[in-house]
Amino acid sequence: MRAARFLFLAGWLFVFGPGAGEELRHIVVSGDAAWTDTGIDVVAGQDVRFDAEGSISLQKGNPQAECGPEGTDLRTVQQPLQEQNLGSLIGKVVAAVTVIKDERTGEERTEEVFELFFIGARNRLEMPTNGRLFLGINELVVGDNAGAFTVAVVTGPESKAPYF
């Protein structure tokens, strides 16, 4: 039998476990990694639920810099989603990746086409586009971070088309 997580809120019962046709994966999102590849490919409109816990430090050794998946009530120019809390859990769906090689130096760089979105501690979203799902921290300078979020990701069926 599959275990489910329950949340009682204002008299409603929310189930954060997989139902029929759904898949559950647990992903560890390190505070000091720019992005974590979930290994999950999604399609536009697909229903995905997120339930995150844990804490990260936005500056190793500074107890005042700790936050949970909702982040800390601060905004900077050094975060991908500037309208959301610094350090919050965010996601992106990468639709395409192009590798560009500099013929002169031989150096390679990648360019991505992606859609960003806020997740926080708990969220249910329709995926904005087709592609690979990544989870990350809403901060661009992550090298001095510590800790991790553990995220339960429940993916719904790929198609919302009615069954005839």
The CATH number of residue 137's host domain is 2.60.120.430
Query: Is residue 75, in this structure, part of any structural domain at all?
Result: yes
Instruction: State the residue range of the domain holding 47.
Output: 20-91+117-155
Domain for residue 151, yes or no?
Answer: yes
pTM equals 0.82
What CA–CA distance (Å, rounded) separates 130 from 135?
15
Any idea how long the chain is? 164
Does residue 33 fall inside a structural domain? Answer: yes
Contact 78, 34 (CB under 8 A): no
Q: Is residue 73 one of the residues assigned to a domain?
A: yes
Q: Quick one: pLDDT band at residue 154, thresholds 50, 70, 90?
A: very high
Largest Cα span, the chain: 64
The total number of structural domains in the chain stands at 1
Averaged pLDDT for residues 139-153: 97
Give the per-residue pLDDT at 14: 45
Reported as a pLDDT band with limits 50, 70 and 90, residue 21 is: confident
- Quote the pLDDT of residue 97: 87
Rounded to the nearest 5 percent, the helix, strand and coil shares of the chain are 0, 50, 45
